Chain A
Amino acid sequence: MRRVRQALRGALEAVELALDRVFTPAENPFYQLGALGILFLWVAFVSGVYLYIFFDTSIVNAYQSVEALTYGQRYAGGVIRSLHRYASGGLVLVMFVHLLREFALGRLRGMRWFSWITGLPVMVLIYVAGIGGYWLVWDKLAQYIAVATTEWLDALQIFGEPIARNFLSPSALSDRFFTLLVFLHIAAPVILLFALWLHLQRISRAKIWVSRRLSLGIGLMLVVLSLIKPAISQGGPANLAIEATDVGLDWFYLIAYPLLDLWRGSLLWAVGTTMFVLLAALPWLPPLRRPAPARVDLAHCNGCTRCFADCPFGAIQMAPRSDGSAFTQEAVVDEDICVSCGICVGACPSSTPFRRSEELKTGIDLPDYSLRDLRTRTQAAARKLSGRSRVLIFGCDHGLPVNRLEGTNVGAVSLPCIAMLPPSFIDYALSHGLADGVVISGCAEGNCYNRFGIQWMKARIARERDPYLRRRVPRDRLLQIYLSPLQRRQAARRIAEFAARLPGSREEDAA
């Protein structure tokens, strides 16, 4: 499983890197897949409302009403029908890439299980809504879907009478059953909205809107596609006296349907259920490694709210002081939600390596990777350095593997997230002569594993967000690189160039 994930991650990173160049990291579609899905959903919603106004819900007139929409108002109803179709297809495409990407990045373990699990019913509801929509057109494809779906549902043997009998012959059809399908096609997306709300519950500041430029690009693409290849009905109105033979399937929604002609319906249920259960079990499959959640030390917490403001997962709440101290608030960690990224440690004003106390402590810390550990590792990495332009890299466990960049004059310390690093550590490394230059290496730009690590780190260094990097730190001895693991050569080159520019380097001496 680990190898599959790594291979998938490598492939996705290669695509992301290419898209970074084309779109810039801020506009990269792969970094906003969830928001893209919501964009497609909105297009489907709005176009669906328009279509419903003109749709006749009776089985006799449904097909004619869709045809009137398509050809009677070609540049309104026709285009909107196509937008409805293609946005729904885009939704499925984006949904699967989103699923694969979160799997590849391992964003399903720990507290992230909640978003993973709540994403599964979202997938099911998207399929129910999409397949139900095809049904309503009541053309030859709809006939095929109606018969195949009901025969498949009957394999469950939960209905008193096979529901496929509703589509046995033209005389078996009833308006009542068809109206039920219309209701289902409207109800499923409404429930989907609730499921999406639930899906985003444990993500603070969730990105739900795609950047304007990309939204315009996607919108334009959908309109052009709708004009070039309008969505039309297939094979005339449904006629249950004639079996559907060749059907142009929407492979985004109906990819499993050909299996119904090869397998028994019960087997497809078994395979589908097994896949669903496996997907649901993924967050808990071994190896289970859940680092201990962040812990507040009230003796060093003044209730400043910086950790509360910076936590990307809303795992920290501020509560009334419980220790009788003069401060009014204290930070409280919700252990079920904490992912142990350490961003709170980096945000805490008490997190400073300059403290001379016997045991280095801070207001909020990670038990498995404490501030004290960080200082010890920093000192150890610095001790190994030799030469005249010594560089110390602080890297992220989820980004560029910084340990592979180590050399005689380059040392590395990796953290769960780059924003775990308090800016005072940069000052500490330089002012104590541990290194001649410091490199900050996070995840690839726009692709932070812990969502806001890069953003917060940049803002702290730029003195736009507390805790600020002190003014006295010489900025020419600091380099920030936010590159993909695939850009190791570029990283090595930039670090070598940086080292060469450092005051006291050989090149500088020669100059």
Chain B
Amino acid sequence: MSGILRTSGQVVFLGLLGLMLGYFSNRPVYRHFPPDKALIKVSFVHSAKRFAKCRRLTSAEIAKLPVAKRRPLDCPRGRVPVRVKIELDGAILYQATLKPGGLFGDGPAILYKRFTVDPGPHHLRAQLADSPREHGYDFDSERDVVLRPAENFVIDFHGEMTGFTFE
């Protein structure tokens, strides 16, 4: 192969390599989320109440314990599950009972969910129970929102201080 042909071949090869690097560095475009939809994320990390309240030990019970383990209170570690319900325009969007985390069930319950919805005006209601009660909820919040296309609307929960937040 002559020198000119060889050099031309090298230019073509490097050109094709450059073309491949240039094109696939951001093409073809990928549609991750439909632009005519909105997103609702429901997420929280919340430690529910314990199964039972701490109980003061009697002197006799304390005396029975090994010296190094003597303490005035007996506090059960386990926490109750967190019940959560999210309604969108009166229909249930999400409902679950979340187990507490940790090997001994004493950690926080964790939720991270994404819901694709139509944009526009909506009525949202978020309810959560973190106590041993079997019926009803300890927290109940409602909000009227107007979701824009591709909006990422977040429902979070921050415990007794602020309850549910909508942003």
Among B21, B39, B45, contact of A225 (Cβ-Cβ < 8 Å): B21
A246 to B45, CA, bound (A): 30
Which residues on A sit within 8 Å (CB–CB) of B101?
A: 160
The answer to whether A258 has its CB under 8 Å from any CB of chain B is yes
Assembly CA distance A438 to B9 (angstroms): 35
Chain B residues 1-49 with CB under 8 Å of chain A are 1, 6, 9-10, 13-15, 17-18, 20-22, 24-27, 29-35, 39, 41, 43, 45
Task: Decide: A162 and B43 in contact? CB cutoff 8 A.
Answer: yes
Most buried by B among A89, A220, A221: A221
Tell me whether A165 is interfacial, beta carbon within 8 Å: yes
List A residues 140-184 near B (Cβ within 8 Å).
Answer: 141, 144, 148, 151, 154, 160-162, 164-165, 168-169, 171
Determine whether the beta carbon of B154 is less than 8 Å from that of A168.
Answer: yes
Establish whether residues A144 and B17, one from each chain, have CB atoms under 8 Å apart when the complex forms. Answer: no
User: Considering only CB atoms, which chain A residue lies closest to B19 in the complex?
Assistant: A225
**How far does the Cβ of B59 sit from chain A's closest Cβ, in whole Å?**
38
A83 to chain B, nearest CB (A): 11
A113 at the binding interface (Cβ < 8 Å): no
Does any Cβ of A come within 8 Å of B84's Cβ?
no
- Asked if residues B1 and A22 are in contact (CB atoms below 8 Å), the reply is yes
A1 on the interface (CB 8 Å rule)? no
- Given contacts A21-B1, A171-B167, whether A246 and B31 have CB atoms under 8 Å apart is yes
Q: Which residues of chain B have C-beta atoms less than 8 A from A168's C-beta?
A: 41, 43, 154, 156
- The answer on a CB contact under 8 Å between B33 and A243 is yes
Provide the residues of chain B in CB contact with A4, threshold 8 Å: none
Query: Which parts of A224-273 form the interface with B (CB within 8 Å)?
Result: 224-225, 228-229, 231, 234, 240-252, 257-258, 261
List the A side residues contacting B140 at CB < 8 Å.
none
Hey, which chain B residues are within 8 Å of A86, CB to CB? 18, 21-22, 25
Output the least CB separation between A26 and chain B (Å): 12
Query: Quick check: A162 and B112 within 8 Å, CB to CB?
Result: yes
- Are B151's CB and A161's CB within 8 A? no
Q: Are the C-beta atoms of A246 and B29 separated by less than 8 Å?
A: yes
Bound Cα distance from A225 to B20, whole angstroms: 10
A84 to B34, CA, bound (A): 31
CA distance A165 to B25 in the complex (A): 28
Which residues of chain B have C-beta atoms less than 8 A from A19's C-beta?
13
Instruction: Tell me whether B25 and A221 are in contact (CB under 8 A).
Output: no
CB atoms of B29 and A247 under 8 A apart: yes
For B20, what are the chain A residues with a Cβ–Cβ distance below 8 Å? 93
CA distance A165 to B21 in the complex (A): 34
B26 lies within 8 A of A234 (CB): yes
> In the complex, A148→B107 CA distance in Å?
25
The yes or no answer to A96 lying at the interface (CB within 8 A) is no
Contact, CB under 8 Å: B29 / A89: no
Report the contact-size class of chain B (Cβ under 8 Å from the partner): 35 or more
Least Cβ distance of B22 to chain A in Å? Answer: 5
Query: Are A218 and B14 neighbours in the complex by a CB distance under 8 Å?
Result: yes
Select which of B15, B21, B34, B152 is within 8 A of A242 by beta carbon.
B152
Question: Taking the complex as formed, is A119 at the interface, i.e. its CB lies under 8 A from any CB of chain B?
Answer: no
Q: Specify which of B21, B24, B108, B167 lies most central, judged by the most chain A CB atoms within 10 Å of its CB.
A: B21
Q: Is the CB of A243 within 8 A of B21?
A: no
> Could you tell me if A162 and B150 are in contact, using CB atoms closer than 8 angstroms?
no
Residue B110 at the chain A interface, CB threshold 8 Å:
yes
User: Given A168-B41, A217-B14, do A252 and B25 touch, yes or no (CB 8 Å)?
Assistant: yes
| Interface residue A90 (Cβ < 8 Å from any Cβ of B) | yes
B46 CB, min distance to chain A CBs, angstroms: 11
Task: Pick the residue among A90, A154, A247 that contacts B112 (CB under 8 A).
Answer: A154
**Which residues of B lie under 8 Å from residue A284 when comparing CB positions?**
none
CA A62 to CA B112, docked complex, whole Å: 27
Q: A249–B26 contact, CB under 8 A?
A: yes
A85 at the interface (CB under 8 A from B): yes
Given A162-B43, A242-B150, verify A249-B30 contact (CB < 8 Å): yes
Residue A23 CB within 8 A of the other chain: yes
Task: Please report the C-alpha to C-alpha distance between residue A222 and residue B18 in the assembled complex, in whole angstroms.
Answer: 7
Report A-chain residues with C-beta under 8 Å of the C-beta of B45.
161-162, 165
Instruction: Give the chain A neighbours of B1 by CB distance below 8 A.
Output: 21-22
Alpha-carbon separation in the docked complex, A168 to B150 (Å): 14
**B152 in contact with A90 (CB, 8 Å):** no
Are B14 and A220 neighbours in the complex by a CB distance under 8 Å? Answer: yes
Say yes or no: A221-B152 contact (C-beta < 8 A), given A244-B33, A250-B24. no
Given contacts A154-B112, A161-B108, A168-B154, 17 further A-B contacts (CB under 8 A): A85-B25, A90-B21, A141-B26, A151-B112, A160-B107, A164-B43, A168-B156, A221-B17, A229-B22, A231-B25, A242-B152, A243-B39, A243-B152, A246-B29, A246-B32, A249-B26, A251-B25
Residues of B within 8 A of A (CB): 1, 6, 9-10, 13-15, 17-18, 20-22, 24-27, 29-35, 39, 41, 43, 45, 101, 107-108, 110, 112, 150-152, 154, 156, 167
16 residue pairs from A and B, CB less than 8 Å apart: A22-B1, A23-B9, A89-B25, A161-B108, A161-B110, A168-B156, A169-B156, A169-B167, A221-B15, A231-B25, A234-B26, A243-B32, A244-B33, A245-B34, A251-B24, A251-B25
Closest 5 CB pairs of A and B: A248-B26, A22-B9, A221-B14, A245-B35, A225-B18
